[in-house]
Structure 1
């Protein structure tokens, strides 16, 4: 973490997360059965929740740089960070989608689901943490082997 961040940065991140979790719980998107109904084309409420979130984000992305110039709490400049579409993005997206379909919940909503008493979601969270750990281990191992192969040339 950067030392030049505003002292309110972390408390505001916490408040933002709580508001996000409350919104997920209030809209019933923290309930896996609602998400699974959406994925089976039986309930389209999630479309409206996603559209609302996308609209607020879109407005913030357009107006933020124009009105503020710099991020208010970090002082960083606003810039786009584009990730190229490659094999890792495709495989990662596929794994995320399969996990979302099997558990009926994405990582953000899983935490909100814990807040509304869904203790069985701990299995899905454990799977997410295990998958993240294995991906990090695999990436570190492949980078090490790439470095060793390059050094041997």
Structure 2
């Protein structure tokens, strides 16, 4: 993993305390899935790159993007937006009846020269108690280069297609 992620000098300086804390708790480097999520874009100049945005990073987006995100996360599917030089990709599950539903980033991979993002929808555990409030599970990514395809891990098909 690039040194600047852990020492807070790169574009991801907000995550370094988490990495240090995980190393001290588990006695090893970050899990491989997290390494993929937090790749530093500068190492891959000219290639397509994807970065999962944290809630903190989302708050720093321009107001236009925040307004768009607030409304678009209610619609199931993959949505793209360009705003003030930032290219955003949002994967949304749409409206769910409670916060037990989640959308999970599984991996980023290349197949046939094309970048793929694999996501998985998770339902609440049977019998689990959740408040009955509407939830809008989504993942937001900042992208560079060609937009990646988003694949549903359960079906292997593009995310958002009718089941």
In which range does the TM-score fall when normalised by the shorter chain?
under 0.3
Pair member with larger Rg: 1
TM-score by length of 1: 0.23
TM-score by length of 2: 0.22
More helix by share: 1
Instruction: Pick 1 or 2: higher relative contact order, CA cutoff 8 A, min separation 6.
Output: 1
More strand by share: 2
